[in-house]
Amino acid sequence: MISPEQVQTMIRERLSNAEVKVVGDGQHFEAIIVSPEFTGKTRVKQHQMVYAALQAEMASETIHALSLKTYTPETWQATGQAV
């Protein structure tokens, strides 16, 4: 089992300027990631960047399912939400 906090830390290590919020039950997770590194990239490329940070855990099925919502700081600000 892996905690949401551990997943959050792994994403932050790969995307250093990211704001990350992860919730989950130890196998299934939902993550919201806001990163300036996403600027100019397609949503698919943004998701690939996050999956790269969790590659070993995804491959070993430590993380069974991961739902991602990725935003640039500008698109996040437009939602009016807080991370």
Here the CATH number for the domain that contains residue 69 is 3.30.300.90
* Count of structural domains within the chain: 1
Q: Band the pLDDT of 54: cuts 50, 70, 90.
A: very high
Which residues of 1-83 form beta strands (DSSP E)? 19-24, 28-34, 65-71
| DSSP helix/strand/coil, 18 | coil
Contact 63, 57 (CB under 8 A): yes
Q: Is residue 81 part of a domain?
A: no
pLDDT band (50, 70, 90) for residue 28? very high
Confirm whether 22 is domain-assigned.
yes
What pLDDT, on the 0 to 100 scale, is given for residue 43? 96
pLDDT recorded at residue 50:
96
Looking at the predicted structure, is the pLDDT value of residue 63 above 90? yes
φ, ψ of residue 64 to 5 degrees: the values are -85, -40
Pick from 16, 8, 65, 66: nearest CA to 38? 16
26 occurs within a structural domain: yes
Range of the domain at 30: 4-76
